[in-house]
Structures are given as C-alpha cells and as structure tokens.
Amino acid sequence: MNIDKIMNNVKDKHQLIHSITNYVSVNDCANIILASGASPIMADEALEMDDITNISHGLNINIGMLNQNKEKSIYLACYKANNLHHPILLDPVGVGASSYRQHFVSSLLKSIHFDVIRGNLSEIKSLVENSLTYGVDTIETITQDNLDEVIEFIKIVAKQFHCIIAISSVIDVISNGNQTYVIYNGHPYMSKITGSGCMLSALTTTYITANKNNLLEACALSFLIMAIAGEKAYDKMIDNKVGTSSYRNYLIDYVSLLTSDDIRKEANYEIR
C-alpha cells in the first residue's frame, strides 16, 4: 500500500467533497473531511444539486434520516456525478429497518453506479436479494471464526454491484471482488458516539476522490486511519479521565494528526 502517495494526494489536491448525509452527524462529517485535508460542502436542496455537483469532485451519499425531499436531491446529485465521472460512495444506513428505505436503495442501485458501498454487515446483507443463499444470514459481527465466510460473501456482492464493498465491524473487510483487505485495528468505544460510521463514509469518500486510479487501497487506508485514530483517541480519553464527547473530538484530532509513519507503525491488516 502506497500510504505516502495516497495521503499526499488528499492533502495536495484539496478537493471539494459533497455530502448528502445524516443531519445528526453532518457537522462531524464536515470536520472529518477538513481534518483529512480536503474541503466539505453539505448541500441537500434539489434546486442546487446541478450547480453543487459541478463544482465538487466527489459525492458521499448517506441515507440516514431519509425523506422524500432528500430522495430527489440524491437522485439528481448521483446522476450528475455519474455523468461527470465523480467517485460516489453510498452509505445505506438502516436500509433493512423499513420497506421505504429498502425500496429507495434498491431503486437507486438499479440506476446509479457507486464506486464504494460502505456499511455494517446487516446493511450490506439487506442490499442482496435472497441473502440466505450466501450463507451469512445468522452472522452480524465479523470475527476470526466467520471471517472466511464473510469474505466470500463480500466478494460476491462486490462483483454483483461492480464496486468496492467496505464493511466496518470488529474486523473490517474491504473488497473489490478480487482482492480483499482485512483490517484488525479499531476500538469498541467508537460505537459509543453518534456518527462514527457516518464520519468513516465521509473520510472514505475523500480518499477515493483524491485517488481515483487506486480506489481499493484508498478505501482501505481511510479505514486504517479511522481505526487507528479510534485507538489513540481512546487511550487519550482514559489518560485524561474524560468521556464520550471528548472521545469524539480526539477522534477527529487524530485523523488530522496521523502521519504515514504512524500508520505504518500501528497498522494491523492483511490482504487476501
């Protein structure tokens, strides 16, 4: 993995990342993009999607707090971004929670090409019709015991949608259908704050946008950065005897502070 080149591309190109994201975490997503060295724009009014997409370089779609107005904006932004060959990431938050979300995402996937789909395992399973046939219907958390099984499932889904599938769990798995990164970094405390997954999607969009010719490594590196930042943020939280709000701030701090040498030293991953 060419860590230096991928990180330098993000900082040097300083690209504009358009996020249509969850209102709960919109501020944190903007800050994580800034922390990486890029610039955020957080717009979801349908009337300006054409103009905003024209000036942006990448698109992050997060269906948290989905509504009919946002539906229209997502379609308009995605169609335009596809036409401009901008990288697009889809975060299908809670897609299996309602038939409304399920129908919307199913329709979206039939008409839009996404470069990356990022979610947890249950969300990715919800994207696949007859997921029971893939043999992971009872698995919700990725562990060493079920890792091989999940990797095979993710490869199938990646080939089905012709994109990278990136799953965050106890063990993160990122695959383009042929090559798969398995990441062991991270900390359980990341689930104690709202929006850590949303922030990861925003960060991943930033990295793939600046590295369009190396999407898989850029995606994997963004996961590593977030995971290592989560570990360091926890250590600092414990040292300073503070709580969850400080943890969130430390997480963003470390995304801005981590160097390529830090990542090489701390990274714990394999390629399958």
**Distance (Å) of CA 21 to CA 61, 86, 157, 186, 258:** 6, 17, 24, 23, 25
pLDDT tens column, 18-73: 999 999 999 999 999 999 999 999 999 999 999 999 999 999 999 988 999 999 99
Instruction: Grade residue 132 by pLDDT with cuts at 50, 70 and 90.
Output: very low
pLDDT tens column, 62-87: 998 899 999 999 999 999 999 999 99
Instruction: Grade residue 136 by pLDDT with cuts at 50, 70 and 90.
Output: low
pLDDT tens column, 257-272: 999 999 999 999 999 9
- From the list 95, 96, 52, 55, the residue with the least C-alpha distance to 74 is 52
The answer, yes or no, to whether residue 130 has pLDDT greater than 70, is no
Q: Is the pTM of this model over 0.75?
A: yes
Contact 101, 112 (CB under 8 A): no
- From the list 63, 83, 79, 76, the residue with the least C-alpha distance to 20 is 63
- From the list 88, 108, 92, the residue with the least C-alpha distance to 204 is 88
Contact 165, 128 (CB under 8 A): no
pLDDT tens column, 200-228: 999 999 999 999 999 999 999 999 999 99
Instruction: Grade residue 138 by pLDDT with cuts at 50, 70 and 90.
Output: low
pLDDT, mean of residues 188-198: 92
**Distance (Å) of CA 172 to CA 74, 105, 154, 165, 200:** 27, 23, 11, 11, 12
Report the share of the chain in percent with pLDDT over 70. Answer: 96
At 36, list the tokens: 């990486």
**Distance (Å) of CA 146 to CA 138, 218, 227:** 11, 25, 21
The answer, yes or no, to whether residue 141 has pLDDT greater than 90, is no
Q: How high is the pLDDT of residue 137?
A: 53
> CA-to-CA distance for 19 and 5, rounded, in angstroms?
24
